[in-house]
Amino acid sequence: MRLIKLKEVLHMTGLSRATVYRFMAAAGFPMKVELGGNSVAWVESEVEDWINEKILQRDYANKH
């Protein structure tokens, strides 16, 4: 398991910081992991799963 910082999450998804936090608040994005102090990270595989789900949704919508 690998934890990734916000900068990498933004790079992987193409989302803005505000959008990531808005999606998290709406339960539409993986939740951050509090590491202590002001440090947070995300589980890389959870972010990858979220991206893959978006791809599947796109593919399904294009077929129907």
Is residue 14 within 8 A of residue 47, CB to CB? The reply is: no
Q: What is the pTM of this model?
A: 0.90
One-letter amino acid at 3 equals L
What confidence tens digit (pLDDT) does each residue in 5-64 have?
999 999 999 999 999 999 999 999 999 999 999 999 999 999 999 999 999 999 998 887
DSSP string for 9-21: HHHHH---HHHHH
Is the Cα torsion angle 60, 52, 35, 7 positive or negative in sign? negative
Q: Domain residues for 26?
A: 3-63
| Number of domains, the chain | 1
